[in-house]
Structure 1
Amino acid sequence: MNTILGQSKTPWHLWVVGIVSLLWNLGGVVSYTLTELGQLGDMGFSPEELEYFYSFPTWAVAVWALGVWGCFFGSAALLLRSKWAVWLFGISIVGLVGTTAYQRIASTLPESMQTTGQDLFAALIWIITIGLFFYASRMKRAGVLS
């Protein structure tokens, strides 16, 4: 095993996963930020959809922030080879659980958002978020993250 100052050599796939996940999570950051700034009006959402997004209770906004920012900073930490990536991706899972609970249990999605495509996109978010957590955990165990 090649080591530099006690760390394993950075595998090529860490850079690919880190960069792709950072770009993917940037989409979530933009969505969250535009929503919180009240700037979704020009993005093609219906008035019903805009009302839904803008009416999130404080706790739902807070867990959404945990999910979005945890995953974004987790990707950045992965690129920096920081062990904090595992914690940040874990925090993002907590946020995702809370956001999903709000969207699927505590609120009523607008009919236009109750589609198979929306369900598949939600499943993809879960798969990617959990995958990033396990990937970072594996890289930490391998000594790549410190």
Structure 2
Amino acid sequence: MDELSVRTPWHLWLIGTVALLFNAIGVFDFVMSMARGAQYMASAGMTPQQIAHYQAMPGWMTLIWAVGVFGAFLASILLLLRRALAFPLFAISLAAFLVSLLYTYVLTDGGAIMGRAMAITSTIIVVLLVFFTGYARAMSARGVLR
């Protein structure tokens, strides 16, 4: 099918908007964490131990975090613009988040420090990123994304 004959399904606008809003929260959190540091984290309800864990994060992890949040945000925009690049960007973002989970729960004692609420939040993020990645892949395969 040529690109003129492929109609944009209504759910692309719904899912794309939800993805954009959800991933905007991640960008906001990253920017505020970098700009305001401990003050922002404390205002978000983090304990001193949790803040110390984030502040001790190595530079490579900060880069992984940035790739994850900005990649997912850009992928959401590209999904709404019907661009096929949305799929690989969502996949990269998902991979970055999985690396951050590896760091938090395997390479450090971050799981114990961050607690159950962060584990639940992380699970929700993984589920949504897997969904957004799969959705972008399906829309790309159907020719909706070009």
TM-score by length of 1: 0.89
Match of 1:114? 115
- Deviation, 1:43, is 2.6
Counterpart of 2:4 (choices 3, 6, 23) is: 6
Task: Give runs of ≥4 in structure 1 deviating > 6 Å.
Answer: none
Name the CA shift for 1:7/1:36 in 2 (closer, same or farther; >3 Å). Answer: farther
Alpha-carbon deviations, 1:24-43, whole Å to 9, x = none? 11111111111112243433
Q: Is the 8 A contact 2:111 2:119 kept in 1?
A: no
Q: Which structure's residues are more often helix, by fraction?
A: 2
Q: Is the 8 A contact 2:78 2:85 kept in 1?
A: yes
Match of 1:99? 100
Structure 1 vs Structure 2 CA RMSD:
1.8
Q: Distance between the aligned counterparts of 1:29 and 1:64, measured in 2? A: 10
Name the CA shift for 1:50/1:110 in 2 (closer, same or farther; >3 Å). Answer: farther
- Deviation, 1:118, is 2.5
Match of 2:136? 136
- The size of the alignment, in residue pairs, is 143
Match of 1:22? 20
Match of 2:145? 145
Name the CA shift for 1:102/1:123 in 2 (closer, same or farther; >3 Å). Answer: same
Match of 2:81? 80
Residue type matched to 2:63 in 1? A
Could you tell me which runs of 5 or more consecutive residues in structure 1 were left unpaired when the two chains were aligned. none
Could you tell me which runs of 5 or more consecutive residues in structure 2 were left unpaired when the two chains were aligned. none
Alpha-carbon deviations, 1:18-77, whole Å to 9, x = none? 001110111111111111122434333222111111111011111111111111111110
Name the SS for the 2:110 alignment partner.
coil
Residue type matched to 1:18 in 2? G
TM-score by length of 2: 0.89
Q: Aligned runs of 1:16-55 on 2, under 5 Å?
A: 16-37=14-35, 38=37, 39-55=40-56
